[in-house]
Amino acid sequence: MSMAREFVSRFVVQTLAGFSLVTSLGVLADDAPPTPQEMVGYGLYVAGEASHGDSKSLAQLQSNAAAQDAGAQFGLGDYYWLNKDYPQAVSWFQQSADQNFSGGYYALGVAYDSGLGVPLDHAQAMRMYLKAAAEIPSAATNIALLYAQGCGVDQDYAQAANWYRKAADSDFEAALDLAALYVKGQGVPQDDAQAMHWYRKAADSGNALAQYRLGLLYEESRSLQDSVQAAHWYDKAGQQGVADAQVKLGILYSDGKGVSKDPARAVNWFQMSANQGNGQAQFRLAMSFKNGEGVKPDPFLAYQWMTITKMSLHENDPTYLIASKDLQDWEQQMSPTQIKLASKAASQWLQDRASKKGQPLPLQLLRPTPCASPKTGKE
């Protein structure tokens, strides 16, 4: 839904109270009829403003929805969605869909995909998405994902690739997923160059996940390997807060691959990633404090971060086993008081991080719920 968001961003400073969504969009777009995607984007924007306490935005949605404005009905549904009143949200989405508004169909598809406000039903989600896909790229993306996961339909990567391709020029999620199919050779011939094309399309527009995956492809591709480019894209993604990119870039600085060797910069990137809960970064940070690489040796902080590492990783992760052994070895060199204080500091760090609660996801960011038992066509 990037185009809709770009459309909205041009007009957020304008006051539109008293206008319907259709009228408002027509005025803002130099009297050109608004596209369904623009109406969806604007509805999401107004709903977001209303959910943050803007009473005028809420009143605008309610008034226009009552006047049978399909875009406003969709927007009011999203307002209730953001406030977790899913039955009310679905009611308004249905009214919007009853007017054959593609945004209403798309929203109902998301509801059935997530099982919120309605029973979980991937097949019904597919039917709703198919009614919206010609006008809402995100609907085509979710159709592709249902095929890729085998949710409500037989698993079919070729169909998934076909639907991702329909949306990939305007939906970065589709571009990312299509690139991943090319990396794996699922539904399409394995082709790193094609994968790079679709990752680059999204990465050049600032998509952080695409930047990370592009860096990963440059680092791991047999045919297109380029450590300098890997570091470049990891840096762009890391600057946007992608923890996996931050730890990857830290490793490159630590090893001097694609960049000049710089242990201090490596530690900085490990720290940023570790603060986000990345277990591999936490392990690297602990070892940096233990060995004095890029930072002064500090056994207390080394033990603290290694304890956090062990608590962050699954017990089957090889790094978990290494962390467990290192902690046992290091305890032989520490006093009981030091161990107690470091363990307490680690527990407090984890508690503080766990207490941070995220915000509700906007409607357009929801993805289909993975199937417990995907259909493979072999039943």
- Cβ(179)–Cβ(198) below 8 Å: yes
d(CA 125, CA 368): 9
The pLDDT assigned to 30 comes to: 54
Secondary structure (3-state) at 334: coil
The pLDDT assigned to 376 comes to: 63
The pLDDT assigned to 35 comes to: 86
User: Is 170's pLDDT higher than 80?
Assistant: yes
Residues 6+ apart with CB under 8 A from 94: 104, 108
User: Is 206's pLDDT higher than 90?
Assistant: yes
Mean pLDDT of 113-127: 95
Mean pLDDT of 80-109: 96
Structure tokens, 305: 């971060």
The pLDDT assigned to 373 comes to: 64
pLDDT band for position 11 (50/70/90)? very low
Secondary structure (3-state) at 336: helix
Secondary structure (3-state) at 190: coil
Structure tokens, 134: 């010609």
User: Is 58's pLDDT higher than 60?
Assistant: yes
User: Is 20's pLDDT higher than 60?
Assistant: no
The pLDDT assigned to 368 comes to: 64
Burial of 373 (0-12, 13-18, 19+ CB in 10 A): exposed
Mean pLDDT of 121-134: 96
The pLDDT assigned to 132 comes to: 96
Residue length of the chain? 379
pLDDT band for position 38 (50/70/90)? confident
Residues 6+ apart with CB under 8 A from 240: 206, 208, 211
User: Among candidates 167, 186, 183, 185, which has minimal Cα distance to 175?
Assistant: 167
Q: List the end-to-end C-alpha distance of the chain, in Å, as a whole number.
A: 36
Q: Which residue has the higher pLDDT, 262 or 374?
A: 262
The pLDDT assigned to 14 comes to: 29
Q: What is the pLDDT of residues 222-232, one digit of tens each?
A: 999 999 999 99
Exposure letters 51-80 (e unless 16+ CB within 10 A, then b): beeeeebbebbeebbeeebbbbbbbbbbbb
Proportion of the chain above pLDDT 70, given as a percent: 86
User: Is 246's pLDDT higher than 50?
Assistant: yes
Secondary structure (DSSP) of 213-230:
HHHHHHHH-SSS--HHHH
The pLDDT assigned to 367 comes to: 64
Q: What is the pLDDT of residues 248-303, one digit of tens each?
A: 999 999 999 999 999 999 999 999 999 999 999 999 999 999 999 999 999 999 99
Secondary structure (3-state) at 120: coil
pTM of the entire structure? 0.81
The pLDDT assigned to 245 comes to: 97
Mean pLDDT of 112-118: 94
Q: Is 14 left (phi over 0), alpha (psi -120 to 50) or beta?
A: beta
The rounded mean pLDDT for the chain is 88
User: Among candidates 204, 157, 212, which has minimal Cα distance to 220?
Assistant: 212
The pLDDT assigned to 145 comes to: 95
Domains and CATH numbers, the chain: 1-135 (1.25.40.10), 277-353 (no CATH)
Q: Which residue has the higher pLDDT, 10 or 296?
A: 296
Mean pLDDT of 12-24: 36
d(CA 235, CA 166): 30
Mean pLDDT of 41-61: 92
Q: Is 377 left (phi over 0), alpha (psi -120 to 50) or beta?
A: left
Mean pLDDT of 116-137: 95
The pLDDT assigned to 81 comes to: 95
Q: Which residue has the higher pLDDT, 363 or 307?
A: 307
d(CA 147, CA 130): 13
d(CA 102, CA 128): 9
Secondary structure (3-state) at 315: coil
